[in-house]
Amino acid sequence: MTDTGKGREKQTDDENRREDGGRDNPECHRRGCTERATFVALERYQEETGHGAVEAEAVLCREHAAEESPANLDSSYAEYVFRVEPIQEMQDGDTA
């Protein structure tokens, strides 16, 4: 990766977000979308080998959140989870 001023700024911003412990509305996870993420989609399903759970999480803008649907129903199990929640709700509910 080429070292550029813009790249260093992004890296600094990312580090600051991690230190703050919040999501600070990052960009939508969908490729090519530059909208701010306002929702988080979570799906927990059984690993292909059957030896544990996998959690997939993606932050999405409103438009892409509305299009989101379960992708791993074939790997569902008793503790399967699929949900799409507003990011702000998650931040409000944090007690840390």
The pLDDT tens digits of the residues spanning 48-69 come to: 887 899 999 999 999 999 999 9
35 lies in a domain? yes
Euclidean distance between CA atoms 55 and 42, whole angstroms: 7
Q: Which long-range contacts (CB under 8 A, 24 or more apart) does 48-57 make?
A: 48/75, 53/77, 53/79
Q: Does the predicted model carry a pTM greater than 0.85?
A: no
User: Per-residue pLDDT for 35 more than 80?
Assistant: yes
Cβ–Cβ under 8 Å, residues 38 and 87: yes
87 closest CA partner among 44, 1, 14, 25: 25
Q: How many domains does the chain have?
A: 1
9 lies in a domain? no
At residue 19 the predicted structure's pLDDT band, cuts being 50, 70 and 90, is very low
Cβ–Cβ under 8 Å, residues 22 and 16: no
17 lies in a domain? no
Residue range of the domain that includes 42: 25-93
Consecutive H or E run containing 60: strand 53-60
pLDDT value of position 96:
43
40 lies in a domain? yes
36 lies in a domain? yes
Task: Name the DSSP letter for residue 84.
Answer: E
7 lies in a domain? no
64 lies in a domain? yes
13 lies in a domain? no
Euclidean distance between CA atoms 27 and 38, whole angstroms: 9
